[in-house]
Structures are given as C-alpha cells and as structure tokens.
Structure 1
Amino acid sequence: MISGAERGKGGDALARHLLKPENDSVEVLHPRGLGSPDLVGQVRELVALSLGGRTDRPVYHVHCDPDPAIEDNDGARRRFWSLFEAEFQLTGQPFCGATHVKHGRRHEHRVYSLVRPSGAVVDVGYDYLRRERCARVVEFEFGMPVPTPSKHSRAIVRALREQGRDDVAGWMEASGTTTAERPVARLSPQERLIQERTGVDLDTLRAAALAAWRESADGSGFLEALRRRGLDLREGRSGPVVVDGTGTAHLATRLVGAAARRQDGSRILAAAVRERLAGLTLTQHGETHGRAVGPDRARARGAEAAPGGASHGAGAGRDAGGAVARGDPGRPDGERGRRGGSSVEPALDRLVARPAAARLRARLRLMAPAANRELADRLDSVRARQWIAVPGVTDIWGLPIQGERPRLG
C-alpha cells in the first residue's frame, strides 16, 4: 500500500486537482462535518473552519493506494483510514475527498482540517513514518505475501513491537525488509510535479549534468560543458543551480550527486561540487539583470559611476551589463541604510530618473484626498489656538496644566 500526504492552505486548486478529468472515474466522497454540496465548497468550508487555529497550513491532504495484490480494495482503504485517524487523532475531524480510478487502480484522497474546535492544531510530525506503519498493518491483515519496501522498515518494526503488534513485526522481519538495502525513490513528490509541469525528463537532465561534470576539470569547464548541452549555471538561493531549457532551476549539488549514484553507485559529495564551482562568478537566477557573485565581486564593486555621481543606468557598483555586486554601496539606498547615516541621495536620484508618467502617478497618490484635507484643516485650527497655564493646577508630575485662552468678543 502506498500513501502520500501534503499539508497546505487549501483552496480551489486543491478541489480542482481532486476532480481532474484525467482519471478514468472520479467519485466524490460523502463529507464529514461539512454542509457544502460540492467539493469546491467543501474545501472552502474546511479552510473557513480552520481560521481560528494558529497555523497558516490548516489543511492536510492524504491519499492511500492499496496494492493490486489486495483483492478487497474497499476494505483495505476503510481499514487504513481507521488506523490513520486513530494514529493522528483525527477521528471526528471534518474531511472531504474523492475516490479515483486511474489505469485500473482505485485510490482515495481525503482532505482533513487540522484545527480542532478549541483552536488547537493536530500534530502531524513524522507523518511519513506513521503512515507507513498503518500501511504495513493493512498489508499484513489483508494477506499480502511481503510488505512494501520502505527505508523506515527497522523503525516501523520497533514501533509495532511497542504497540504489541509482534505478528506484523515478525512478518516484516521474515520478509527480509529490515536487512535489505534502503530503497531510494527515483523522484521526490516535488521533483515529480516539476517534471510534469515542465515536460523535462529529470533522469535525462541528470545524465547531461553528470556528463558535463566528468568531462570538465574546473568550474569554467563545467559551465562550458553545460552550455554545449543547452543548459546554464547560475546562482540560486541555496547555491549554484543548473537551469534547463524551460528556465527551471535544479540545485547543482543534488543533480550531479543523484546522477552519479544512479549511474554507477559512486558518490559525488555536495562539498566537492561547491569546491569546484567556488571560483565562478555567476548570475543570480530569477532576476532581470542578475547580480555578480563570487571572488570577482570586488571588480564589480569598483565599477565606475555614471557622470554626475549618482547612478543612472549602469551607475555606481554596476558593471556594463547592469549586474550589481552583493554588498555594493551603490545598491538601492546604499549599503548601510539609515543606521549608518548614509545619504538618501541615491533614492532621490532614482525617483528623479523615473519616467514622467510614473512620477505623475506617484504624485497623485501622495496628494491628500478631501477627507485628509478636512482633517488637516482641523489640526491647523487646533494649532492656531493659544494655550495658557491654569494657575495652581498641575498634573501628577508637577507640570502645569494648560487650558485654552478664552476668546475675546
């Protein structure tokens, strides 16, 4: 039995995913604790019921897919949900969902609210391990000859024995699953979604990145080898990334390491990839102009400013292509900000350099509407009043209390 789960905010996209027509058939489940007549409304209602909880991910989407070796698919799913709700203490929590038939296999999706009526949030920590334990019990009880391989087999056996299920634990140990090499999924759920969205086969991309890695001896050689294959190398949030033809970024350390492990079982450590690429100056991925990074950032930092001091176009701290060095004093509003006492001239220069239409829109936004003008007039009238100290009257700190000077006439 295979199960999967994802925690999120909910929304109409989730409901449309459960109703997508690519399945052979879709059957909407009878919801629990919800009154909306359709699945879109039910998911919206789940989100609304969760507004009192202290979490920004109140919805838990879970699916279970019994193995074809289990003849009683409906019974296996019922047993799984019973164990699952008991494990996560979700009994009684509102849910909705749908049953799909795809390629002849029937599986079920459920969307639970994780927020209780009290506002407390259900703990779903270590959910993968806990769901796997429920699945192994179902497989044993419904007569599967061997359990589904899992990298958590040893931990599952320990937990089963603590729960008194020595029968299931012994069945797993007799199958050899606790001593077998841990399986590694070809794709993670996120990678699978990226592959479906972009149409780029990840195994092919990995092979190309590994070939470029092995035919190069340094970072620049790796970059050139990637470009010959229609790929590029840029700087990402977590390090260098390989960019495919669709513009999607893939972490270089993970791409090369996974490719080597799958091709011949060898290990290319992330540290080795980072060391080889350390001398490169890369463009920041996802930005129009990019930013210079790496050891050459000092040269970008020393780029000459445009005539007139403050930058227009290329400007101070930018190279001829407009790339800005990290930590550059010519970046927006200077490097130190107001705490360092730097001037606001760079920001003013950028405002002056904006197109006339943009300046006009900004000016209109700053102009006070009628309500604000009325308030300003009232404040002016208050300021215009003359105030005098009231003799012999002070506040708790001993300061004289002022009153309005009586008007004459």
Structure 2
Amino acid sequence: MISGATRGSGRGDALPAHLLKSENEVTVIPARGLGSTTLHDQVRELVAQSAGGRTDRPIYHVFCSPDPGIADDAAVRERFWTLFESEFGMAGQPYCGVEHRKGGRLHEHRVYGVVRPSGAVVDLAWDYVRREKCGRIVEFEHGMEAVPSKHARSIARRLRQDGRPDVANWLVASGCTESVRPVARLTPCERATEERTDVALDDLRRATLSAWRETSDGPAFMAALRVRGLDLRRGRVGPVIMDATGTAHLATRVLGAASRRFEGERILAAVVRARLGNLQLEEMTDGRRGHRAAPGDAGTPAPCDPGGPRTAGAGRVGFRRFGGDPFGPDGGGIGRDGRGPGPAMGRLRAITPARGLVLRRGLNRLDPMLTRYGAATARARHATDRIDADAARDQRRAWALWGLTDIWGIPLR
C-alpha cells in the first residue's frame, strides 16, 4: 500500500487540473458534504467552507495506491480510507476526488477540507507516519508482506498503544524494525530538477565523487570537475557544482549523497568545507539564484531618472544630499552644470532693473499671504476661546440655579 499527501491553499485551478490530466483514465468519484458538480467548483467550495478557520492551507490532498496483488482493489481502498479518517478524526469532513488508472494500476485521490464546522483545524502532526500505520494494517489484513519503512519501529510502538499487537508482532516478524532504514534516491525537489534539466543526478554524483577521490586539495578537485564538464562556483550557502545546463547543486549535499549511495559511508559536510574553504571561487551566474544583480548596479538608467544621462555621475543611482561627493548624482552640491554658487550670485546681480522689479514683486507677494494665514489662525483661536467661555458660563449658571447636573445639564437632585 502506497500513500502520499500534500497540503495547500487550494486557491486557483492547479490541483483540479492535475487530477484531471488526460494522461490518466480519470473517473470523478462522488463528493461528500459538497453541493458543486464539477471538480474545480468542489475544490473552490472546500476553500470557501474553510473561511472561518485559522489556517491558510485548508486543503489536504491524499492518495492511496493498493498493491496490484490484491484482488479486491475497491475493498482495500475503502478499508484504507476508513482507517485514515478514524486516525485523523476526519469521518465527517467534506471531500472530493478522482480515481486514476495508469499502467494497469488503479489509485485514488481525495481532497479533504481540514477546517471543522466549529472553526478548529484537523491535527495533521506526524501525518506521514500515521498514514503508513494505516497502510501496514491494510497489508496485514489482506495477507501481504510488510513494506519496508524507516518508521517501522515507531509504527509498531503506536500499534501496540492502539490495541493492535497482532499487527505490531507481524511487523516485527517481517524484520522491518531491525533492517537498515531505506533512503530515497531522490527528494521530490531533486526529482523535479532532474526532470527539468534532463541531467541524471546519479551520473552527476558519480562524477563528483570520482573527482573527489582522485584529488587531495581544492584546486585539484576543481580541475578534475572541469575535465568532467562540471565547474565549482561560490553559492549562497557554500560551494556549488554547476552542471552542463548551468544548474547549481550544493557540493556538500552532492558529495554526501554520492558517498552514502555508492560507498555506504557519508562524507561529512565539515570535511568538504575544510577542503574547499580557502578556494577563491567565482560567483555563479546561472542556475538556482543565478543572474543576480551586483550590489549597487541599477542597470541602464532612464533619461529622466536620478543618475541618468542628464545628471552628473551618469549610470549610477544615488541620493541628493547637502555637500555630496563629486561622484554623486547631485554633482557634490556644485550644480548640474558644474558651477558653484558664486556664478549664480553674479547672475542675480547682473539682471536688468526691469527683471529685478518683477522678481521683487513676486517675492513680496509672499508677505500678504503669510499675514492672511496668520489672521485666519487668530480668528479661529478667538472663536475657540468664545466657545469655551460660553460653556463655562452655562455651567456656572446651572450650578447657581439647579445645583449639581449631569453632562447634559439635567439636575441630579
């Protein structure tokens, strides 16, 4: 029994589109707790029902794929879903889904809403191990062999706590609890990278490990990589190996995975960093986090942008400031034409009397405006004082006539 799950927001049509891919023989299964008829609308309805929950990932996508050796496939899947919903307390949760037939094998996908009517969110902690426990129970009940799992010991312990010692004993007898924990060849992210670049990561690992074993220092290791069509660059968190497509792979991770897979003993990251730590590496220019702009490089400025061709210091972006350096966009306070304040004062003294009269009239107009604003402020202040004085007089009059009053002036006695 194989199962898997992902959790997400459910917004958009990516998940329904994935489930309805034409490469599979697709059958939409009856939904539970939903009124919509199409899969796209059902997923949207699940998201809408979760509006009152305190989560931004209200969708839980689960699939199960029974072993082909089991004759009654439908009964096996139904048994798995019963165990799954009991384990996670999702017996009443709405869901929708599809059945896929691919390569002669039938498997089922369900999309559950994890927000309860009360607004509480279903507890999905340790969901991988809990789903594997359901799968082991199904295998036991249908006479199948136990699927090896790195969580076998934890599953056996939990089965005994749940009152299923028969399944726990079967799991122990199969040897799964004592066997070496299996390690996946690729992580989901690495698998996606391999599909995108068409570069087999095992080939990359073999070449990198071979270059590592036949050298003893950093420069020789880098030269050996280049002979194999690879390169060593400086990445964000450490040295990275660049493949032929320009994709970056963290060197410590590649060497660790290669040594564990092909030699049985992992090369520690500290050992890799010790050998490569003193290398002066070039910054990677492509691949993951590639094409990053250099600090301070703003690209080609527009004609009217600060630092553009119209201003001093063309090609750079800076801030206008008093007394800036000569390379700043403000020309160091000497004007765009490179002249200081002296020539400007000379030009003011040299203007004609008629031009000077116009300039003085324009400057003198500021004074009446300031006086007008000041007079308006004084009138507003006097009006406020009059209102306060009237309120105080009314309060004194109320005390004199009526005694103590409330805030509306009504006598309290």
TM-score relative to the length of structure 1: 0.70
Aligned with 2:291 (options 288, 293, 310): 288
1:187 corresponds in structure 2 to: 186
1:87 corresponds in structure 2 to: 87
Q: Would the aligned equivalents of 2:29 and 2:98 in 1 still touch at CA under 8 Å?
A: yes
Q: Tell me by how many angstroms 1:273 deviates.
A: 1.6
How many residue pairs match? The answer is: 324
Unmatched 5+ stretches in structure 1? 293-309, 316-331, 335-340, 351-380, 396-409
Bigger Rg over Cα: 2
Q: Secondary structure at the match of 1:391?
A: helix
- Equivalents in 1 of 2:175, 2:114: separation in Å? 36
- Equivalents in 2 of 1:167, 1:278: separation in Å? 54
2:359 corresponds in structure 1 to: none
1:378 corresponds in structure 2 to: none
- Equivalents in 1 of 2:86, 2:323: separation in Å? 62
Query: Relative to structure 1, is the Cα distance of residues 264 and 45 closer, same or farther in structure 2, using a 3 angstrom cutoff?
Result: same
Q: Secondary structure at the match of 1:31?
A: strand
* Matched letter for residue 23 of structure 2: E
Q: Tell me by how many angstroms 1:392 deviates.
A: 7.3
Q: Does 1:274 align with 2:273?
A: yes
- Equivalents in 2 of 1:47, 1:345: separation in Å? 57
Q: Would the aligned equivalents of 1:261 and 1:267 in 2 still touch at CA under 8 Å?
A: yes
Q: Does 1:169 align with 2:160?
A: no
Per mean C-alpha deviation after superposition, the further-off stretch among 61-70 and 78-87 is: 61-70
Q: Would the aligned equivalents of 2:232 and 2:239 in 1 still touch at CA under 8 Å?
A: yes
- Equivalents in 1 of 2:170, 2:326: separation in Å? 71
Query: Relative to structure 1, is the Cα distance of residues 2 and 236 closer, same or farther in structure 2, using a 3 angstrom cutoff?
Result: farther
Query: Relative to structure 1, is the Cα distance of residues 236 and 91 closer, same or farther in structure 2, using a 3 angstrom cutoff?
Result: farther
Query: Relative to structure 1, is the Cα distance of residues 32 and 176 closer, same or farther in structure 2, using a 3 angstrom cutoff?
Result: same
TM-score relative to the length of structure 2: 0.70
- Equivalents in 1 of 2:326, 2:21: separation in Å? 52
- Equivalents in 1 of 2:13, 2:100: separation in Å? 18
Q: Tell me by how many angstroms 1:343 deviates.
A: 10
Kindly report structure 1 stretches of 4+ aligned residues shifted beyond 6 Å.
Answer: 341-348, 381-384, 392-395
Q: Tell me by how many angstroms 1:30 deviates.
A: 1.2
Q: Counterparts in 2 of 1:3-42, with a 5 A limit?
A: 3-10=3-10, 11-23=12-24, 25-42=25-42
Query: Relative to structure 1, is the Cα distance of residues 391 and 289 closer, same or farther in structure 2, using a 3 angstrom cutoff?
Result: closer
Query: Relative to structure 1, is the Cα distance of residues 252 and 344 closer, same or farther in structure 2, using a 3 angstrom cutoff?
Result: farther
1:388 corresponds in structure 2 to: 381
Aligned CA RMSD, in angstroms, stands at: 3.3
Q: Tell me by how many angstroms 1:13 deviates.
A: 1.5
Unmatched 5+ stretches in structure 2? 296-311, 331-371, 390-413
2:252 corresponds in structure 1 to: 253
- Equivalents in 1 of 2:322, 2:61: separation in Å? 50
- Residues 310-349 of structure 1, C-alpha deviation per residue, up to 9 Å, x if partnerless? 9765x7xxxxxxxxxxxxxxxx879xxxxxx999999984
Q: Does 1:129 align with 2:129?
A: yes
Q: Does 1:201 align with 2:200?
A: yes
Q: Tell me by how many angstroms 1:222 deviates.
A: 2.9
Identity fraction in percent: 57
Query: Relative to structure 1, is the Cα distance of residues 246 and 141 closer, same or farther in structure 2, using a 3 angstrom cutoff?
Result: same
- Residues 260-307 of structure 1, C-alpha deviation per residue, up to 9 Å, x if partnerless? 111121220111122222223341552425669xxxxxxxxxxxxxxx
Q: Secondary structure at the match of 2:97?
A: strand
Q: Would the aligned equivalents of 1:256 and 1:268 in 2 still touch at CA under 8 Å?
A: yes
Q: Would the aligned equivalents of 1:28 and 1:99 in 2 still touch at CA under 8 Å?
A: yes
Q: Secondary structure at the match of 2:32?
A: coil
Q: Tell me by how many angstroms 1:240 deviates.
A: 3.0
Q: Tell me by how many angstroms 1:394 deviates.
A: 6.6
